[in-house]
């Protein structure tokens, strides 16, 4: 049931405004923080205010501007969009707190926080995009806004990483543009409709090209295997950037795009008839296993997390590609589960580098004693990735397995099991070193007058996110929690053709 | 003979010859050029415009706008010549930031230092500064007294001929542009024979800015009058022959004086 | 005069046009190029005026001496405007050539190419 | 039938031209007054132009018989949707002129300002006349006004080199004008009239013949030269790079579009007569456009001098427009027509920003301008926005046109050109990455750059205004699109579809 409401556009617009103000008044530390927090809270409030409606299946729509009949910028907060924006706005609040702590004394903070706010407001824009044009518009703006963050350190290596990042994402953007244009040409409209807008009448050949272009276009940011090259290299960015963008905003936009294409552009029946989804599922499966194996070999902490992100993202792509309701729930849920777990890990790694200056796995022997809280959070996150019950990760794997069986693709279950083992393979050694290995040389003592291991601004987000991981694990089915929103979203995906979401 | 340019020329020549060959034979009286608009002008020209010379009628009345833009083109030429940097003085090292661009292309600017303060001295002083840079350039070949005498003798008569051509433009071949050309010719002849500044005095300095623009301004004025009289831009009242003639003469004089001064000024600027 | 289907007057105009074009393209001296341009302009004006001519036509001046078949006046008006355009273009080109000569000391394309 | 504003049609052309004629006289005491005088004249012209556009929106295309003579008897001015380009043109001039007041301090002594501003006004008047006239010979004369003032404007800034670039431009431009005159004469001989509508009717009766084809080819080549399309673009890079920045903005943004508008006029004449089967010509246009895009972008990458790079990117963007026109599908032509304006806006932003940087520091190459963003934040931000929009990335105006032309490409199922269009433009982004890195993320090398101060407000205002327009039109792109759509849809049946 569609309701015209201004909130879907207000959320991105307000955050853009605040981002502008951060640039404008950035010189003074107080005003900069004030506007960043203001943006985060207003957006959170707007999204939450729409939550009760979404749970009853209400969809808030707002047509912003019409270029020519049938083509324009429109916003639509459907269940799936709400889910994604809920995740990204909550995490934005925590990451801002973390970033303020982490970037203490760094220079060019005005530019950093300005573009930081811009990026996250674009993610909300992507979440609420009503059609492929608006989606693409925010998708590419995100690329431009993340570039200054990736290149923030201004070292030669950072510039190289930025160049590679842009080459990948812009070429991806080019493919996405071509895909979108061909969709409009074939389907006559771009608006995301639950049962998909393309039909068989436009010929299998064009449909294949459209699918290929869109999947490559969004796959670049979803870091599906052949297109993942930029992610590990972009780890050179400061940790808050890696945390939010490469664990939540940028990569999730890619995965979100892939699911939109599968469910809202092609539609489940069409894909089943065409059979394009299976090669994608195979590719995702391959990515999961391959990325995990590479992660085993990575000694640099953040690179290991990067490869783990690549494999986790392919869970989402795999869930979507299996085209069954349960697998779809897994895909949607995993957006939240992976986000909270991965962000905790990045926060912890950031805290370790900030307090002890250690960047490599081999260097963090016995850190458990020095930083007990952070390592506890890291452990919870690792358990979640391995899929131990009571953690968020378990729910995704559970639904994914059921989905795979439902799609009678039993060999995917093997992939899941293998990946869980591999996850254990590259996370448990870290825990083992942290807790059971004596420190090679004594850790720097606590600064006087500080009773926790790291500054509070770093520690609070870590603890909260770890708690969230557990919370999501336990309360998946309780209404009002992300789990229930995911249910509503999945129902809309599999609603029979012709019935509105 | 450069083979490549020959090839290009042939590449251009062949289609043109092909195109031109299939045009209707030009002398035939029934060719469209003579049966269409041209014939109408010939029939009703005299009655509508009161001019005997149809070419002048077309120039000033029927297609007067063309000539108006025409006069603007010649003014553009003058503005262009005036706007170009003067003289061969190497780039003076003004106090402005000296260009250090490493690219072969120099900064593309002749940075005259802050010396020329915003309220630049009046035109006179600026002129004198320019004169120092430009030594008195008499033509290299000393002009023989015979030429100098003949030129001074004939100048007024040539001027008379120009004025005659100007005012008879309505009846016989002639008109504004031709008169302008002759005026300029006299000016240049005097300039060469009697030296630069003597000729320059023909066109007083502080009148020049107005005289240069007189042609387009005359057209604009006549167009405005025409608009007031007939409601159409540059419209001549058909039945009121005296008004037509008056407007025609204003235009002719405007073109002659304007054109003449422009061509003379171009010659003067070129000399430096 | 239509030997083997070609109107010789027009062909002559095209030949003149191509001569001018060759001068413009092939000559290395800037002034000669400018002369080539003027030859091309004259060629086009000749084309327009010959097009306006009629067999045994008198000049379009309605005075006693002239009789019925008049040459069309429009081409003459066009050519007059064209000539003034040609003059203006030549004036600007000459000003530029003076400028180049003043700065580089030569107006030969080959020598200009070697300068820094 | 015509409203009060229709009377203003001839005056919108005449005003800048007469203003130019008066500039030397007005500024004889204080040469600097010429700048303000030019600005005033252009402001009034912009007001007149907006009235004309309002009239066009109210009552559709209208025409004005000069001298009171009936259309084909005298000269007729015709204001239709494509001549509505006059309004954005005047507005851009109004924004660019204030920039030139302070910019010219380093470029020329004060006494040469009046002729400079006279040339600028003549250029504006010529372009307005070109877009509005309905008479073929009048079209030629206006082209001459525009070209002549452009040749001079190129040479106004520099010494010998600028004169040489201007002379090259002059020779090629003069030849192309002569070709246009030759073609006009041919059509005059064939149809006996010079009025575009008449010529179109006359051609309809004659039917296609070699003479008609050759005349069309001559027109096409002439306008391709004016629009600096691929094979005949050699004159553009040196001319636009050497000219002073406000002039480069005018040349690259608007004078180059004269060729495009001319092409559209010839399309109207020839297709009105349904004389030529244009499939082959459209295909040629599409190929030329595609090659221009890639070639322009390719050459732009290897330039170190900012303005030379911007000049090459003009060739690439003209390729966009021509590709859009050649595709002849509704969306492509809409995209191309809107890009005529958007490109002018973006190119003006880039050239003015580059001009301010060169004005403040004296350097033109990327390697010298490292770290400029620290000392000139607003100008570098404008440069960045311009860079992003010229490549056609979303939040900016450039994206809207790229989207529509790509859409048109697939609509005319010319898929390979769609791909070429999308990825051809990304080529150029390689240069912009280098530029953004140099500006923002590298330390200044020269002390002029380190201590450069932001430009005075009369220069920074236009730059910031244009940059924000690029962004606003990116989101509100609908306004120009909806405006152009009716014109394109009623022109399309001609398009040889």
Task: Give the residue extent of every domain in chain B.
Answer: 29-81+143-271
Q: Which of D75, D133, D167 to mutate to test the interface with C (most CBs of C within 10 A)?
A: D167
- Interface contact flag, A148 D440, Cβ < 8 Å: yes
**Nearest CA-CA distance, residue C43 and chain B, Å:** 12
Q: Are D111 and B120 in contact (CB under 8 A)?
A: yes
What angle, rounded to 10 degrees, do the helices at D160-191 and D235-242 form?
130
Question: D-chain residues within 8 Å CB-CB of B206?
Answer: 28
For chain B, give the number of residues.
Answer: 272
Question: B-chain residues within 8 Å CB-CB of C76?
Answer: 55, 58
ipTM over 0.90: no
Chains that touch B (3 or more CB pairs under 8 A): C, D
- Interface contact flag, C24 D175, Cβ < 8 Å: yes
Chains that touch A (3 or more CB pairs under 8 A): D
Q: Are A378 and A345 in contact (CB under 8 A)?
A: yes
D205 near B CB under 8 A: no
Question: D-chain residues within 8 Å CB-CB of C102?
Answer: 160
Q: pLDDT tens digit string along A165-189? A: 988 998 999 999 999 888 888 888 8
pLDDT at D59 over 80: yes
- Interface contact flag, D111 B226, Cβ < 8 Å: no
- Interface contact flag, D160 C40, Cβ < 8 Å: no
Q: Stretch D170-191: mean pLDDT, rounded?
A: 92
Task: Give the residue extent of every domain in chain A.
Answer: 2-493
pLDDT at B100 over 50: no
pLDDT of res. D275: 67
Question: D-chain residues within 8 Å CB-CB of A146?
Answer: none
pLDDT of res. A480: 60
Phi, psi of D214 (to 5 degrees): -65, -40
Q: Which of B27, B173, B177 sits opposite C84 (nearest CB)?
A: B177
Question: B-chain residues within 8 Å CB-CB of D243?
Answer: 108
Question: C-chain residues within 8 Å CB-CB of D194?
Answer: 74
Could you tell me which residues come within 8 angstroms of residue B89 by beta carbon, excluding any fewer than 6 positions away? B133
Reading the block at residue A447, the tokens are 């600064």
Q: What DSSP string describes A9-49?
A: HHHHHHHHHHHHHHHHHTTSHHHHHHHHHHHHHHHHHHHHH
**Residue B126 pLDDT level (bands cut at 50, 70, 90):** very low
**Residue D117 pLDDT level (bands cut at 50, 70, 90):** very high
Distinct helix (H) and strand (E) counts, chain A: 20, 3
Q: Which of B80, B103, B233 sits opposite D365 (nearest CB)?
A: B103
- Interface contact flag, A68 D478, Cβ < 8 Å: yes
C54 near B CB under 8 A: yes
Q: pLDDT tens digit string along D312-333? A: 989 989 998 999 888 888 888 8
pLDDT of res. C31: 93
Q: Which of D25, D116, D186 sits opposite B210 (nearest CB)?
A: D25
Q: Which of D122, D162, D171 to mutate to test the interface with C (most CBs of C within 10 A)?
A: D171
Q: Which of D67, D68, D161 sits opposite B105 (nearest CB)?
A: D161
pLDDT of res. A204: 83
Reading the block at residue B10, the tokens are 């042939």
Could you tell me which residues come within 8 angstroms of residue A387 by beta carbon, excluding any fewer than 6 positions away? A393, A394, A396, A397, A420, A423
pLDDT of res. D147: 94
Q: Which of B5, B38, B87 sits opposite C72 (nearest CB)?
A: B38
Q: pLDDT tens digit string along B197-225? A: 777 777 777 788 888 889 999 999 999 99
Secondary structure, 3-state, A303-340: HHHHHHHHHHHHHHHHHHHCCCHHHHHHHHHHHHHHHH
pLDDT of res. A106: 75
Q: Stretch A91-111: mean pLDDT, rounded?
A: 81
**Nearest CA-CA distance, residue C52 and chain D, Å:** 8
Question: Domains in chain C, start-ordered, CATH in brackets?
Answer: 3-55+64-114 (1.10.287.3510)
- Interface contact flag, C74 D188, Cβ < 8 Å: yes
Reading the block at residue D393, the tokens are 């990335």
Tell me how crowded residue D359 is: count the other CB atoms within 10 A of its CB. 27
Q: pLDDT tens digit string along A444-464? A: 776 666 666 677 778 888 888
Give the Å distances, CA to CA, from D359 to D383, D451, D459: 15, 13, 10
Taking the complete model, does pTM exceed 0.95, yes or no?
Answer: no
- Interface contact flag, D403 A177, Cβ < 8 Å: yes
Of A362-366, B188-192, D82-86, D106-110, the range with the lowest mean pLDDT is A362-366
Distance CA D263, CA A58 (A): 52
Q: Stretch A294-302: mean pLDDT, rounded?
A: 86
Question: D-chain residues within 8 Å CB-CB of A177?
Answer: 402-403, 406, 422
Q: Which of A133, A143, A174 sits opposite D422 (nearest CB)?
A: A174
C 74-93 residues inside an 8 A Cβ radius of D: 74-75, 78, 81-82, 85, 88-89, 92-93
- Interface contact flag, D241 B210, Cβ < 8 Å: no
């Amino acid at each position: 049931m569609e309701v015209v409401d201004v909130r879907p556009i207000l959320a991105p617009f307000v955050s853009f405004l605040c981002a502008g103000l951060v640039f404008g008044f950035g010189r003074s530390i107080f005003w900069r923080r004030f506007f960043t927090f203001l943006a985060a809270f207003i957006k959170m409030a707007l999204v939450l205010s729409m939550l009760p409606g979404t749970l009853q299946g209400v969809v808030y729509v707002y047509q912003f501007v019409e270029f020519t009949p049938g083509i324009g910028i429109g916003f639509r907060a459907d269940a799936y969009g709400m889910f994604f924006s809920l995740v990204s706005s909550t995490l934005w609040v925590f990451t801002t707190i973390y970033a303020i702590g982490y970037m203490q004394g760094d220079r060019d903070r005005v530019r950093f926080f300005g573009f930081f706010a811009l990026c996250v407001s674009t993610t909300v824009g992507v979440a609420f995009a009503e059609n492929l044009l608006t989606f693409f518009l925010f998708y590419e703006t995100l690329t431009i806004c993340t570039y200054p963050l990736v290149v923030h350190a201004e070292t030669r290596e950072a510039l190289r990483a930025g160049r590679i990042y842009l080459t990948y994402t812009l070429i991806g953007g080019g493919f996405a543009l071509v895909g979108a244009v061909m969709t409009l040409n074939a389907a006559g409209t771009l608006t995301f409709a639950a049962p998909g807008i393309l039909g068989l009448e436009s010929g299998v050949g064009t449909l294949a090209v459209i699918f290929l272009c869109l999947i490559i276009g969004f796959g670049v940011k979803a870091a599906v295997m052949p297109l993942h090259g930029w992610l590990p290299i972009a780890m050179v960015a400061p940790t808050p950037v890696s945390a939010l963008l490469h664990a939540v905003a940028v990569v999730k936009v890619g995965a979100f795009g892939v699911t939109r294409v599968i469910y809202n552009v092609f539609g489940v029946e069409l894909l089943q008839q065409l059979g394009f989804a299976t090669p994608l599922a195979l590719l995702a499966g391959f990515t999961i296993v391959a990325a995990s194996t590479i992660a085993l070999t990575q000694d640099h902490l953040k690179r290991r997390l990067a490869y783990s992100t690549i494999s986790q993202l392919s869970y989402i792509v795999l869930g979507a590609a299996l085209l069954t309701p349960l697998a779809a729930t897994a895909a949607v849920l995993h957006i939240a589960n992976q986000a909270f777990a991965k962000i905790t890990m990045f926060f912890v790694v950031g805290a370790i580098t900030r307090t002890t200056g250690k960047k490599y796995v081999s260097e963090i022997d016995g850190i458990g004693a020095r930083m007990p809280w952070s390592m506890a959070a890291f452990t919870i996150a690792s358990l979640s990735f391995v899929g131990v019950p009571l953690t968020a990760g378990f729910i995704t794997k559970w639904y994914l397995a059921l989905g795979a069986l439902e799609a009678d693709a039993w060999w995917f279950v093997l992939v899941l099991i293998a990946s869980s083992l591999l996850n254990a393979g590259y996370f448990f050694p870290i825990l083992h070193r942290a807790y059971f290995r004596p420190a090679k040389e004594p850790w720097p003592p606590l600064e006087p007058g500080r009773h926790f291991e790291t500054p509070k601004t770093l520690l609070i987000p870590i603890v909260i996110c770890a708690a969230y991981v557990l919370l999501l694990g336990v309360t998946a089915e309780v209404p009002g929690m992300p789990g229930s929103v995911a249910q509503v979203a999945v129902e809309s995906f599999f609603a029979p053709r012709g019935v509105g979401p | 003979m450069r083979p490549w340019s020959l090839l290009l020329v042939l590449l251009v020549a062949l289609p043109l010859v092909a195109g031109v060959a299939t045009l209707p034979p030009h002398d035939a009286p029934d060719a469209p050029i003579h049966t269409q608009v041209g014939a109408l002008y010939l029939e009703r020209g005299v009655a509508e415009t009161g001019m005997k010379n149809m070419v002048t009628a077309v120039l000033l009345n029927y297609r007067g706008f063309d000539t108006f833009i025409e006069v603007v083109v010649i003014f553009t030429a003058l503005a262009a010549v005036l706007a170009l940097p003067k003289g061969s003085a190497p780039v003076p090292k003004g106090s402005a930031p000296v260009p250090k661009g490493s690219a072969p292309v120099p900064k593309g600017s002749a940075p005259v230092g802050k010396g020329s303060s915003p309220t630049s001295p009046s035109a006179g002083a600026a002129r004198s500064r320019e004169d120092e840079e430009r030594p008195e350039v008499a033509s290299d070949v000393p002009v023989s007294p015979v030429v100098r005498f003949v030129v001074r003798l004939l100048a007024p008569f040539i001027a008379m001929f120009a004025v005659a051509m100007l005012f008879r433009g309505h009846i016989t071949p002639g008109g504004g542009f031709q008169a302008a050309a002759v005026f300029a010719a006299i000016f240049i002849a005097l300039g060469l024979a009697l030296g630069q500044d003597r000729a320059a005095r023909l066109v007083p300095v502080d009148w020049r800015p107005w005289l240069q623009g007189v042609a387009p301004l005359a057209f604009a004025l006549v167009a405005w009058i025409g608009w007031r009289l007939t409601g159409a831009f540059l419209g001549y009242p058909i039945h009121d022959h005296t008004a037509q003639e008056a407007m025609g003469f204003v235009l002719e004089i405007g073109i002659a004086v304007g054109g003449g001064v422009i061509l003379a000024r171009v010659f003067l600027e070129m000399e430096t | 005069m239509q030997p083997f289907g070609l109107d010789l007057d027009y062909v002559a105009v095209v030949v003149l046009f191509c001569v001018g074009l060759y001068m413009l393209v092939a000559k290395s001296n800037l002034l000669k190029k400018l002369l080539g341009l003027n030859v091309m302009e004259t060629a086009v004006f000749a084309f327009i005026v010959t097009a306006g001519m009629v067999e045994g036509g008198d000049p379009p001046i309605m005075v006693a001496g002239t009789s019925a078949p008049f040459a069309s006046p429009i081409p003459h008006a066009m050519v007059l405007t064209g000539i003034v355009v040609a003059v203006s273009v030549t004036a600007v080109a000459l000003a530029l050539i003076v400028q180049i000569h003043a700065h580089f000391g030569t107006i030969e394309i080959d020598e200009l190419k070697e300068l820094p | 039938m015509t409203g009060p504003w229709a009377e203003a049609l001839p005056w919108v052309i005449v005003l800048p031209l007469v203003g130019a004629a008066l500039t030397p006289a007005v500024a004889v005491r204080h040469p600097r007054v010429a700048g303000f005088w030019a600005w005033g004249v252009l402001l009034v012209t912009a007001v007149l132009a907006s009235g004309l556009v309002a009239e066009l929106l109210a009552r559709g295309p209208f025409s004005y018989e000069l001298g009171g003579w009936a259309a084909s008897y005298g000269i007729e001015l015709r204001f239709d949707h494509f001549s509505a380009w006059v309004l954005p043109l005047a507005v851009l001039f109004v924004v660019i002129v204030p920039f030139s007041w302070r910019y010219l301090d380093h470029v020329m002594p004060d006494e040469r300002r009046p002729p400079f501003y006279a040339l600028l006004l003549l250029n504006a008047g010529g372009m307005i006349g070109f877009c509005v006239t309905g008479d073929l010979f009048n079209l030629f004369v206006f082209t001459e006004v525009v070209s002549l003032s452009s040749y001079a404007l190129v040479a106004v800034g520099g010494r010998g080199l600028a004169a040489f670039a201007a002379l090259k431009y002059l020779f090629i431009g003069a030849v192309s004008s002569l070709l246009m005159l030759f073609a006009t004469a041919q059509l005059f001989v064939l149809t006996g009239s010079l009025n575009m509508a008449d010529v179109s009717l006359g051609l309809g009766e004659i039917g296609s013949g070699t003479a008609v084809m050759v005349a069309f080819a001559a027109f096409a080549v002439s306008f391709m030269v004016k629009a600096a399309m691929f094979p005949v673009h050699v004159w553009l890079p040196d001319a636009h790079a050497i000219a002073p920045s406000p002039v480069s903005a005018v040349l690259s943004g608007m004078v180059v579009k004269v060729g495009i508008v001319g092409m559209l006029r010839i399309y109207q004449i020839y297709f009105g007569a349904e004389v030529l089967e244009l499939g082959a010509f459209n295909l040629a246009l599409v190929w030329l456009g595609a090659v221009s895009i890639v070639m322009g972008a390719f050459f732009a990458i290897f330039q170190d001098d900012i303005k030379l790079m911007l000049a090459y990117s003009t060739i690439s963007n003209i390729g966009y427009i021509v590709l859009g026109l050649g595709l002849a599908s509704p969306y492509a032509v809409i995209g191309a027509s809107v890009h005529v304006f958007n490109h002018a806006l973006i190119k003006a932003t880039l050239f003015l920003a580059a001009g301010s940087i060169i004005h403040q520091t004296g350097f033109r190459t990327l390697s010298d301008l490292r770290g400029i963003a620290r000392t000139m934040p607003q100008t570098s931000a404008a440069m960045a926005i311009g860079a992003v929009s010229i490549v056609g990335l979303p939040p900016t105006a450039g994206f809207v046109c790229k989207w529509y032309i790509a859409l048109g490409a697939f609509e005319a199922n010319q898929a390979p050109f769609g791909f070429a269009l999308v990825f051809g433009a990304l080529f150029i982004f390689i240069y912009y990455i280098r530029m953004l890195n140099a500006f923002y993320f590298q330390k200044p090398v020269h002390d002029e750059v380190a201590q450069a101060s932001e430009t005075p407000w009369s220069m920074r205002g236009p730059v910031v205004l244009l940059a924000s327009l690029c962004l606003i039109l990116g989101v509100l792109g609908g306004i120009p699109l909806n405006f152009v759509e009716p014109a394109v849809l009623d022109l399309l049946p001609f398009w040889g579809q």
